[in-house]
């Protein structure tokens, strides 16, 4: 069982190696790792098995149809979400280390496994063949602070595995926003007004690539902007989806 991610000091010296069987498990330091995770730790990742087909929100196993209340009442502009994990331990910690500390050791196992998940998911429910990847943008100031945009990094990993084109820079962030989490739905949408701009004519079929879908409000706005600019089909591809408030507490 994964008790906690090892302290960074223990991990110094572990290299991101291009050979999948090289290196230790980032969660328990076992040497028998594949793409940065050992099999027992990989089996403990919180799979988003019963997510809403449209937005990926984790639902109870019994939910039928597989759609959340919000998507039924107010369907989002994107057509589907492909999101393999719930944003819970240890995926939340791994994404945090990857995103805020630029530590790719923690991103790599997730991106590699995400690619394999997508291969299978796309066989079961294909996307249009002309699908292009569009990384979710980061405000240039924040990008300078962090040194990289994790969404670009994830999209590059997926593009390599799945042989898909990337349209980086298609959507830009025109201004910073306050964090979405503490806001009401109306405030969230207001907070996101005019945040994005589409820089040129988009391809017709798009998967927006991001790390985490929290409320889905940002994804809705990005998808709406792309459709307005001429895209026809927009999907959301992310590593993890935040469960509804109150779900899995304690
Ligand atoms: Zn492990
Ligand atoms: Zn939904």
Ligand 2 mean position to 134 CA, how many Å? Answer: 21
Q: Which residue has the higher pLDDT, 14 or 38?
A: 38
Ligand 2 mean position to 46 CA, how many Å? Answer: 18
Q: What is the pLDDT of residue 147?
A: 84
Q: Output the pTM of the full model.
A: 0.88
Q: What is the pLDDT of residue 250?
A: 35
Q: Which ligand is nearest to the CA of 6?
A: 1
Ligand 2 mean position to 94 CA, how many Å? Answer: 25
**Lowest model confidence (mean pLDDT) among 6-20, 66-80, 109-123:** 6-20
The residue-averaged pLDDT of 12-23 equals 57
Ligand 1 mean position to 21 CA, how many Å? Answer: 13
Q: Which two tokens stand for residue 40?
A: 């027992």
Phi, psi angles (nearest 5°) of residue 58: -60, 130
Phi, psi angles (nearest 5°) of residue 37: -135, 145
Ligand 2 mean position to 75 CA, how many Å? Answer: 8
| Cα–Cα nearest to 26, from 53, 48, 47, 4 | 4
Name the pairing type of β-strands 171-173 and 196-198.
antiparallel
Ligand 1 mean position to 153 CA, how many Å? Answer: 24
Ligand 1 mean position to 25 CA, how many Å? Answer: 5
Ligand 1 mean position to 188 CA, how many Å? Answer: 38
Helix (H, G, I), strand (E, B) or coil at 174: coil
The C-alpha atoms of residue 149 and residue 136 are separated, in whole angstroms, by 9
Q: Which residue has the higher pLDDT, 127 or 188?
A: 127
The residue-averaged pLDDT of 190-195 equals 81
CATH topology of domain 49-241: Rossmann fold (3.40.50)
Question: In this structure, are residues 226 and 78 in contact, taking their beta carbons and an 8 Å threshold?
Answer: no
Q: What is the pLDDT of residue 190?
A: 78
The residue-averaged pLDDT of 213-219 equals 92
The residue-averaged pLDDT of 107-126 equals 95
Q: Which two tokens stand for residue 39?
A: 């099999």
| Cα–Cα nearest to 112, from 28, 12, 203, 45 | 45
Q: What is the pLDDT of residue 245?
A: 77
13 confidence band (pLDDT: 50, 70, 90) = very low
Q: What are the tens digits of pLDDT across the range 75-115?
A: 999 999 999 999 998 999 999 989 988 888 889 999 999 99
Ligand 1 mean position to 29 CA, how many Å? Answer: 6
Phi, psi angles (nearest 5°) of residue 38: -85, 165
Q: Which residue has the higher pLDDT, 190 or 122?
A: 122
Q: Which residue has the higher pLDDT, 187 or 6?
A: 187
Cβ contacts of 98 within 8 Å, gap of 6 or more = 104, 106, 107, 110, 150, 211
Q: Which residue has the higher pLDDT, 28 or 73?
A: 73
Ligand 1 mean position to 179 CA, how many Å? Answer: 32
Give the domain ranges of the chain: 1-44, 49-241
The residue-averaged pLDDT of 115-143 equals 93
Q: Which ligand is nearest to the CA of 66?
A: 2
Q: Which ligand is nearest to the CA of 39?
A: 1
- Three state DSSP letters for 60-114: CCCCCCCCCHHHHHCCCCCCEEECCEECCCCHHHHHHHHHHCCCHHHHHHHHHHH
169: left (phi over 0), alpha (psi -120 to 50) or beta: left
Ligand 2 mean position to 52 CA, how many Å? Answer: 5
Q: What is the pLDDT of residue 178?
A: 72
Ligand 1 mean position to 28 CA, how many Å? Answer: 4
CA atoms in the 13 A half-sphere facing the CB of 50: 9
The C-alpha atoms of residue 199 and residue 128 are separated, in whole angstroms, by 23
Q: Cis before residue 90, ω within 30 degrees of 0?
A: yes
The residue-averaged pLDDT of 53-58 equals 96
């Amino acid at each position: 069982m994964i008790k906690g991610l090892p302290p960074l000091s223990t991990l110094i010296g572990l290299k991101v190696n291009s050979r999948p069987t090289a290196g230790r498990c980032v969660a328990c330091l076992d040497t028998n790792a594949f793409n940065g995770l050992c099999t027992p730790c990989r089996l403990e990742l919180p799979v988003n098995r019963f997510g809403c087909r449209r937005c990926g929100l984790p639902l109870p196993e019994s939910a039928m149809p597989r759609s959340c209340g919000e998507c039924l009442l107010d369907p989002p502009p994107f057509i589907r979400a492909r999101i393999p994990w719930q944003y819970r331990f240890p995926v939340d910690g791994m994404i945090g280390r990857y995103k805020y500390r630029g530590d790719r050791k923690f991103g790599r196992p997730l991106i590699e496994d995400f690619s394999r998940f997508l291969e299978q998911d796309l066989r079961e429910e294909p996307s249009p063949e002309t699908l292009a990847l569009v990384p979710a943008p980061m405000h240039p100031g924040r990008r300078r602070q962090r040194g990289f945009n994790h969404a670009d990094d994830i999209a590059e990993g997926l593009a390599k595995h799945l042989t898909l084109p990337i349209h980086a820079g298609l959507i830009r962030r025109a201004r910073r926003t306050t964090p979405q989490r503490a806001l009401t739905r109306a405030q969230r949408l207001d907070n996101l007004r005019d945040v994005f701009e589409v820089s040129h004519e988009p391809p017709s079929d798009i998967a927006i690539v991001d790390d985490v879908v929290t409320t889905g409000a940002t994804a809705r706005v990005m998808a709406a902007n792309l459709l307005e600019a001429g895209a026809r089909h927009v999907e959301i591809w992310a590593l993890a989806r935040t469960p509804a408030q109150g779900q899995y507490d304690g």
